[in-house]
Every structure is written in C-alpha cells, then in structure tokens.
Structure 1
Amino acid sequence: MPAPKIKLCGLNDTAALAAALDARADFVGFNFYPPSPRFLSLDLAAGLGAQAAGRSQRIGVFVDADDAAISAAIDAARLDGIQLHGHEPPARAAELRSSFGLPVWKVLSVASAADIDRADGYAGAADFILFDAKTPKGTLPGGMGLVFDWALLGRYRGALPWGLAGGLTPTNVAGAVIQTGAPLVDAASGIESAPGIKDPALIAAFCAAARAA
C-alpha cells in the first residue's frame, strides 16, 4: 500500500508552515473561519501562501462562507483548493467548483453509517471527501481532537477519493492508516501544543509516522 498523502490543517504562522514544508506535507490548510483558534487573516494568509508556493498545495478551509469571503481568501493566499466544513449541500459544492475553477473538498462529519452514505450525494459536485469526527452541537465543526469509529469507513464504496480526519496524532496515525487504508490523513489539533499553536516537533513526528505505516 502506498504511503498516504498528508494534509496539515490550521497552519497560521511562518514557523509552523516551515515545519510542514520541511516534513513534505502534500497539502497545507489555511483556516478562514473566524471563530476558530486557527483563523487566518487575509494579510497573514498572503504571506503564508507565498511561503508555500511550489512546495505544497494550499487548501482554504471555509464554513458556510459566501462567495466574496472565499474569493478574497483565494486571491490573498493563492489557494489551490477549497475545503467546505459547514453544511454546504452538493449544489453549493458544485456552484463553487464552477465559479472558482478549483478542486472542492467536502468534509463530512461522521457519527454513524448514515453519515458515510452522504458522500454519494457529492459525486459530480465535489472532488474529494474528507471524513471527520462529528463534534457536539454548539461547538466548532472540527479541530476538537475527537475520533470516530473508523470501522464505519468499510461501508464507503463511493466514486470520490477520500481522506481521514478527526483526532489524528503522531501516536495513532499509523494505526489509522493500517486499519482504514486511508489514502490521505489530515491533522489539526493533533499537531498542536495548545489550541491553534502548532508544534514543529509534532508536525515532523506526524508526517514520519504516517509515511511509516
């Protein structure tokens, strides 16, 4: 089995991004959701986007954002892809894909088999599905360090490529890859020393563990 692709999400300073690039992360995620501790202003996004240029694919993370906010972030960070982490239906994913001409990733929050089955509705509308843990009502939609039952992924037979998120750390990512065969793994809180504060040592350890699986 080939090593999984790696996405490191919520990078918000030059040192963290440098560590991610040195660890050869395939994708770096920039969070444009204001309530998140990983939120990135457009000014900072411009600098980080330039820093990552040519070394990693830059993915913008949005939660039920309007076109103007997405457009501004694309322009500032020179984004290579759009990740939808809210309640965006397939029609919205397809609309953004058409409007901006960029790949669209749709995050599906998983607590049951029915949540896995929702992925089929995004075939032809999104380019990639990211299965994440469902967070409690009234909390942030991701980055909470929660893990879902990976056995549920055995149901997925969809057409879209997919990745695994939700509570992945340097300690558990190898086991996750072995159990699920995930072709991509995504970490946010699992590479932090505190919410929103990335740890370069954990970044390096996560990438090494994912590839070693």
Structure 2
Amino acid sequence: MDVRVKICGLRETAHVAAAVEAGARYVGFVFFAKSPRNVTVGTAARLAATVPPGVAKVALVVDATDAELDAIVAAVPLDMLQLHGNESPDRVAGIRARFGLPVMKAVGIAGPEDVEKIALYGKVADQILVDAKAPKGAAVPGGNGLAFDWTLIARKYWPCPWMLAGGLTPDNVAEAIRLTGARQVDVSSGVELAPGVKDAGLIRAFVAAAQAAA
C-alpha cells in the first residue's frame, strides 16, 4: 500500500524543497488571512515555481469568493483547490466547474453525525479531506493540531478518494494509517516548531513514518 503525503501550510522555499525531497506527493499553500500559515499570491507563485512535476500544488481557501479564486488561479500554477470553509455541495460543484481544477473539500469530524457529510460531499468533490472539526470559536477551521476519534471512519469507503488530517505527527501517523486504512495523509502543525514555522527534520520524519506504515 502506497501512502501519499501532503505537507500543508508551506511558506519557505527550503521547506518546500524538504517536502519534495522527502517524497511528499502534495504541497499546500494557505490563502486565509487569519492563519499563521497565510501566504500572499506572489509568495505562493514563487514557491510553486520551485515544485517539480509530479508533486501536486494545492491552494487552501476558506469560503473564498470567485474574485479571490480568480486572482489565485491566474497567478499560481495550481493542480488542486482545497475548500476548507462552509462551502455547500452546490458551491463545491460550481467552483469545480468554473475553474476546471480538481477540488478537495474538507469535512470536519467530531462525532458520528459528521461522518455522513463525507458521502454527501464525495458526490461533488474530486477528493475529501477528513479533518478534525475545529473547536467552537476557533479562529481557523484547520491546522489546530487536534485529532478526532479515528475509529469513526475506520475502513470505510466513499465515492471519491480521501485524505486523513487532524493532529497527525511523525509519532502517531503510522497508527492513524493502521486504524483508518488511509491511503493519503495531510499534516501542517504536526511538522512545526511553532504556529506557521515548519521544520525540515520533522517534515522528513513525517513522510518517512507514513511511508513506513505502508
């Protein structure tokens, strides 16, 4: 079983290079002003230009308008849009049609009642990011370093590929893969020294742990 890794919230060229060299299959850039991982369109364009073919470049947005997405897509050579807000299924389908890029929709999980949303969004998105639901009042919808009960999604199957996120670290990613059967995993805060400050050593350790779990 091959496990594909996404390193999200990248802001520095050295950390993009570390992710690529370690074997990550996706790199993510955050466009959300409240996030400590937020980057400008210009910075993202510069970082994306260093990513070799075969590694998907993903833009994370939160309830972005068409105008905001137009500006990002026009400047940054992207392979995927990640919708991490309260986008409805219709909005997801509309963005997918308008921009002609694969769309990944994040679904926050806190309890069993949230799991059914995965199948709902799986009908309109190309991929689902199964993440921990942000606590009430949180400033950002993801990247909070929180995990959820992985048994809620253990060995389940949905209409499209999915990726596991939420509180993953080099120390627990292998167990998360074992419990859920995830073929793809996403990390942001779990490879940081402080919010928004990535560490190349942690990036390498996370990718190695995920791939060893395969």
The TM tier, using the shorter chain, reads: over 0.9
Q: 1:55 to 1:154 in 2, by over 3 A?
A: closer
The aligned residue for residue 82 of structure 2 is 83
> Could you tell me how far apart the structure 2 residues matched to 1:194 and 1:175 are?
24
Amino acid at match of 1:52: V
Question: Deviations for 1:50-92, whole angstroms, at most 9, x for unmatched residues?
Answer: 0114141001000000011112112222110000000001100
Alignment of 1:1-213 (within 5 A): 2-139=1-138, 140-154=140-154, 156-213=156-213
Q: Which moved more, 1:110-119 or 1:69-78?
A: 69-78
Amino acid at match of 1:125: V
Alpha-carbon shift at residue 43 of structure 1 (Å): 1.1
Question: Deviations for 1:134-192, whole angstroms, at most 9, x for unmatched residues?
Answer: 11122110111100000000374321211100010000001111111101000000000
Say what the alpha-carbon RMSD is for the aligned residues: 1.1
> Could you tell me how far apart the structure 2 residues matched to 1:36 and 1:55 are?
27
> Could you tell me how far apart the structure 2 residues matched to 1:106 and 1:56 are?
19
Q: TM-score of the superposition, structure 1-length normalised?
A: 0.96
Amino acid at match of 2:182: A
> Could you tell me how far apart the structure 1 residues matched to 2:31 and 2:201 are?
25
Q: Which moved more, 1:117-126 or 1:166-175?
A: 117-126
Q: 1:12 to 1:197 in 2, by over 3 A?
A: same
Please say if residues 93 and 106 of structure 1, whose CA atoms lie closer than 8 Å, have aligned partners that are also in contact.
yes
Q: 1:155 to 1:6 in 2, by over 3 A?
A: closer
Question: Deviations for 1:84-114, whole angstroms, at most 9, x for unmatched residues?
Answer: 0000011000000000111110000100111
Q: 1:99 to 1:111 in 2, by over 3 A?
A: same
> Could you tell me how far apart the structure 1 residues matched to 2:122 and 2:106 are?
13
Structure 2's unaligned 5+ residue stretches are none
**2:50 aligns to what SS in structure 1?**
helix
Please say if residues 117 and 156 of structure 1, whose CA atoms lie closer than 8 Å, have aligned partners that are also in contact.
no
